[in-house]
Amino acid sequence: MTDARAASAASTSTPARSPWPALWALVIGFFMILVDTTIVSVANPAIKAALDPDTNNLDNVVWVTSAYLLTYAVPLLITGRLGDRFGPKNIYLTGLAIFTIASLACGLAPSLEVLIAARAVQGLGAALMTPQTMAVITRTFPPQNRGAAMGLWGATAGVATLVGPLAGGLLVDGLGWEWIFFINIPVGIIGFIAAVVLVPQLPRTAHKFDILGVVLSAVGLFLIVFGLQEGEHYAWAAWIWAMVAAGVAVMALFIWTQARSTGEPLVPLDLFRDRNFSIANLAIAAVGFTVTSMALPQMFYLQLARGLTPTESALLLVPLAILSGVLAPFAGKLLDRTDPRFLLVPGLLLVGGSLGLYVALILNDAPIWTFLIPSALMGVGNAGMWGPLATTATRNLPPRQAGAGAGIYNTTRTVGSVIGSASIAAFMQARLEANLPGAADAGASFGSGTLPPQIVGGFSQAMGQSLVLPIIVIGVGLIAVLFMRRPSMIRPHGAPRETASAAQAQAAPAAAGE
């Protein structure tokens, strides 16, 4: 009854003022998190040349991304609950402060090891921030109107996709790779002030924290990701396979303990009884894997095989970012009135098709301008992918489980990204060794910014073949969304927004009593 009263209070005491200013303030931090990921993908060759120039293994520099994603993914399950317990505003501000200070440490890092450690701290700050944005949307926007709010969420992802690579290229070329992290400091300060002023203090809900679940999930994810990341480096030795197997076993134990918990589990498995929530989580994991893994082969190919600067390679992503940012809000509004599959199926198909076109262009050494075509296709696909998936996952969440649901959704997305980052590093290394078995003996360095002419062809083939992996994974996500159901609470075309709000007011107490 306590939870039911808390949920009812949360739904009835939502601030009467418009939720949009608060969402805009929170989007600043979400924007910074996404920009930081895309900036690093562009700067990876420069970081490797500066801090790890003496090896031909790409998996070392990939840990700059993987360490961030690992410490981002592991705490998400509990940081969503922390938002419910202590208020999303307070947890968001704490995470933003940690993220901003860690950005300064990243820029000042004197070695690759220090940079990886600082990136890990950044990931912790991002983990505190991310679920709060989705939780605020869930708690302040009626289910039938969340499409527009999630459209802003999707547009943010699109704009960040543009700003990240462009800013990264300009900063790396003009000031050095360190400035991709220093730029976060003024953005973080602005975002902190905006959140203090505009984000309301929402009602809190008492939660007991499943410490055993936190430990098991952290250990399991670390073992799996470390094994995948370092497998190629250690020639897939028996102990690597044992580490991955142990990680899978620990995660199985984690799920078993969650199912048998008599208290409040870290992951309320009841949420997965909602088919759309379950499928959206599977699909967003595939999307996270694809988006993270596709960037590395593209950037290494464009900069090392084709000789483009970071700025020039980033400019090829302009159609992607512009089309995604412009179309995402329209997709969000349309989602309030239609079956999500009408947007998700074409969106995922376009993303997969654009990656296939990238492969064809790379393998055929196509003119650089032709890479603008798959970039544009992917931009349209992104508009029908990010916002619709988030809206579908959160549409039926009751207020008392907003933090838990947001934490689970963002965890699956980030775990997909972690596995994508680790897997693409191993796959790229394997394809390099298959296409260039004598590259190391020839003195080639895959981080110096130049490649001997005799190995450019083999290097390009390896990068193109590596993109097949994200194509397969996005195909899995496409198959999953075909099994979604049309949500029961979709505002019919032409229906007033007040009707949708009234429907939510009636639905919230019922959800709280489940």
Average pLDDT over residues 212-223: 83
- Pick the residue with more confidence: 492 or 97? 97
- Higher-confidence residue of 496 and 429: namely 429
Between 80 and 31, name the one with better pLDDT: 31
Summarised one tens digit per residue, pLDDT across range 221-232 is: 788 877 876 776
> How many C-beta atoms lie closer than 10 Å to residue 506's C-beta?
8
Among candidate residues 231, 232, 255, 369, the one with its CA nearest the CA of residue 312: 369
CA-CA distance, 379 to 385, in Å (whole number)?
10
Residue 440 has pLDDT above 50, yes or no: no
Place of tokens 């602005």: 190
End-to-end CA distance of the chain: 10
Crossing angle of helices 372-383 and 341-363, rounded to 10°: 160
Residue by residue, DSSP assigns 276-308 as HHHHHHHHHHHHHHHHHHHHHHHHHIIIIIS--
Residue 9 predicted with pLDDT over 50: no
- For the record, the structure tokens of 328 come out as 């995402």
Structure confidence at residue 16 (pLDDT) = 56
- Residue closest to 112 by CA, chosen among 170, 167, 54: 54
pTM of the model: 0.75
Q: What is the mean pLDDT of the chain?
A: 79
Answer whether residue 424 shows pLDDT above 80. yes
pLDDT band at 450 (very low <50, low <70, confident <90, very high): low
pLDDT digits (tens, 9 = 90+) for 352-394: 999 999 999 999 889 999 999 999 999 899 888 887 888 888 7
pLDDT of residue 290: 92
Contacts 24+ apart (CB under 8 A), 338-342: 338/490, 339/484, 339/486, 339/487, 339/490, 340/276, 340/388, 340/389, 340/391, 340/392, 340/481, 340/484, 340/486, 340/487, 341/481, 341/482, 341/484, 341/486
pLDDT at position 365: 86
* pLDDT given for residue 499 in this prediction: 41
Q: Is the pLDDT of residue 504 over 50?
A: no
Residue 492: pLDDT band (50, 70, 90) is: very low
Residue 226: the pLDDT is: 76
Query: Above 60 in pLDDT, residue 509?
Result: no
CB-based contact 463:301 (threshold 8 Å): yes
**Cα(305)–Cα(348) distance, rounded to whole angstroms?**
29
Q: Structure tokens of 377?
A: 């296709």
Distance CA 131, CA 120 (A): 18
Q: What is the pLDDT of residues 269-303, one digit of tens each?
A: 888 888 889 999 999 999 989 988 888 898 888 88
Residues with Cβ < 8 Å from 326, sequence gap 6 or more? Answer: 155, 158, 383
Distances (CA, A) of 344 to 152, 275, 356: 17, 16, 18
In a 10 Å sphere around its CB, with 0-12 CB exposed, 13-18 middle and 19+ buried, how is residue 390 labelled?
A: buried
Asked whether residue 507 carries a pLDDT value surpassing 60, the answer given is no
Regarding predicted confidence, which is higher, 92 or 213? 92
In this predicted structure, what is the pLDDT of residue 84? 77
The per-residue pLDDT for 12 is 40
**Who's near 134: CB < 8 A, 6+ residues apart?**
153, 390, 394, 402, 405, 406, 409, 410
Q: What is the mean pLDDT of residues 403-427?
A: 79
CA distances from 365 to 306, 369, 412 (A): 9, 12, 36
Position 4 pLDDT exceeds 60 = no
Q: What is the pLDDT of residues 301-337, one digit of tens each?
A: 888 888 887 778 878 888 887 888 788 778 777 877 7
**Residue 285: phi, psi to the nearest 5?**
-65, -40
pLDDT of residue 347: 93
Tens of pLDDT along 69-120?
Answer: 778 877 877 787 787 778 888 899 999 999 999 999 999 988 888 999 999 9
Estimate the share of the chain in helix, then strand, then coil, as percent rounded to the nearest 5. Answer: 80, 0, 20
pLDDT of res. 77: 76
Kindly list the distances between the CA atom of residue 123 and the CA atoms of 37, 225, 264, 284, in Å, as whole numbers in the listed order.
Answer: 10, 15, 26, 19
Q: Where are the alpha helices (DSSP H) in 301-401?
A: 310-315, 318-335, 341-363, 372-383, 386-394
CA nearest neighbour of 199 among 151, 133, 119, 131: 133
239/1: higher pLDDT: 239
pLDDT for res 437: 77
Rounded CA-CA distance 454/434 in Å is 15
Top pLDDT among 27 and 396 is at 27
**Would you call 7 exposed, middle or buried from its count of C-beta atoms within 10 A (0-12, 13-18, 19+)?**
buried
Please give the C-alpha separations between residue 199 and each of 138, 192, 196, 299, 374, in angstroms, as whole numbers: 14, 10, 6, 37, 38
**Look-up: residue for tokens 């509990």?**
78
pLDDT tens by residue, 101-114 = 999 999 998 888 89
For residue 400, name the pLDDT band (cuts at 50, 70, 90): low
* pLDDT score at 149: 75
d(CA 441, CA 340): 53
Which range, 149-153, 178-182, 372-376, 508-512, is most confident? 372-376
Counting residues of the chain whose pLDDT is more than 70, the rounded percentage is 82
